[in-house]
Amino acid sequence: MELLSTPKNIEINNITCDSFRISWAMEKGDLERVTHYFIDLNKKENKNSNKFKHRVSQERTRDPLWHKPGRLERQLLSGRREVRGAAGRDGLPAGDGDALMSPRLSPDYAKEHLAQLQEKAELIAGRMLRFSVFYRNQHKEYFQHVRMHCGNVMKPSLKDNSGSHGSPTSGMLHGIFFSCNTEFNTGQPPQDSPYGRYRFQIPAQRLFNPNTNLYFADFYCMYTAYHYVVLVLAPKGSSGDLFCRERLPQLDISSNKFLTCCVEEGELVYRHAQDSILEVIYTEPVDLSLGVLGEISGHQLMSLSTANAKKDPSCKTCNISVGR
């Protein structure tokens, strides 16, 4: 196995209890040969030894024996690479990186791991209920900013680290969060929200139709009885669609346990799972003129916010074993 040149100008910053950011410079010729990056932070090594290691791996599925934290495949960004790091068992950073590293709690789940999560989520999804709109709650200031500074268009933003630590969408996928769950007794969106008193509602067909692909992204809970399912809606051929196609299980839009779009009597009919809270990420910009903005009458339940929510690692319903 051929060794690479020694990295230069190594910098570690943005250190927290469970993440870090690392950057370094490499010889230009090495960038075209590297398939994996590893950082060995084993405390048992000689204090004077070089904790930074990287090698060329000819087989992407085979890791060098000394590699402990787990493998992260490279992500190319304009000639540079972005991967993510994590905290080790003893609170030390343990992850992989290249010229740019973003905070990350663990290596990405492979598709087979997400398929396991999907199977678990399907077991509790419950029966399907009809709905007609997607909605997004935010503070008044958010929508004022969209109107004054964004040309009346809500723009996708980078997904935070909420949910499963291994979700490949966290810190990587750009999108806009929407909800679609309805109250059982009214068939309408709930009047309470953890995200703000102003609600944008858009007809479901504007975001979800036969020209849209649907992907399963995550399944988690936050130390409560409620379980969340994260789905991604991406127009076919869009950059979000290409991202998801490589990383996430794709769902049949007319036949799945979470969110469906079917033609019935010549019309598109939409249904969502009753017993899961769906978080739907739409990967493209959305113009406010396509929907209606108004103020809800209920409460702002801040305790139910899922922003950067930590998944309950002890829940047997929504956790899987990934062989680590």
CATH code, 19? 2.60.40
Does 259 lie in the same domain as 122?
A: yes
Quick one: which of 115, 121, 111, 116 has its CA closest to 317? Answer: 121
The pTM score is 0.67
Does 229 lie in the same domain as 143?
A: yes
Please state, in angstroms and as integers, the Cα–Cα distance from residue 57 to each residue in 33, 51, 85, 288, following that order: 9, 19, 19, 48
Q: Is residue 72 included in any domain, yes or no?
A: yes
Does 77 lie in the same domain as 34?
A: yes
| Inter-residue contact 93 to 15 (CB < 8 Å) | yes
Question: 177 or 11: which carries more pLDDT confidence?
Answer: 177
Tell me which long-range contacts 302-306 makes (C-beta under 8 A, separation of at least 24).
302/194, 303/194, 304/194, 305/194, 305/195, 306/162, 306/163, 306/194, 306/222, 306/228, 306/279
- Could you tell me the two tokens for 90? 């003893």
Q: Is residue 101 included in any domain, yes or no?
A: no
Q: Is residue 104 included in any domain, yes or no?
A: no
Q: Give the count of domains, the chain.
A: 2
| Inter-residue contact 238 to 284 (CB < 8 Å) | yes
Q: Is residue 3 included in any domain, yes or no?
A: no
Q: Is residue 268 included in any domain, yes or no?
A: yes
Does 121 lie in the same domain as 235?
A: yes
| pLDDT score of 64 | 28
Around Cβ 192, how many Cβ atoms within 10 Å? 15
pLDDT at residue 142 greater than cutoff 90: yes
Q: What is the mean pLDDT of residues 40-45?
A: 50
Q: Is residue 303 included in any domain, yes or no?
A: no
- The residue behind tokens 């739409």 is 282
pLDDT at residue 240 greater than cutoff 70: yes
Domain that holds residue 188: 111-295
Q: Is residue 320 included in any domain, yes or no?
A: no
Around Cβ 148, how many Cβ atoms within 10 Å? 9
Lowest mean pLDDT among 24-38, 250-264, 291-305: 24-38
Helix (H, G, I), strand (E, B) or coil at 244: helix
- Could you tell me the two tokens for 81? 């690479």
Does 270 lie in the same domain as 139?
A: yes
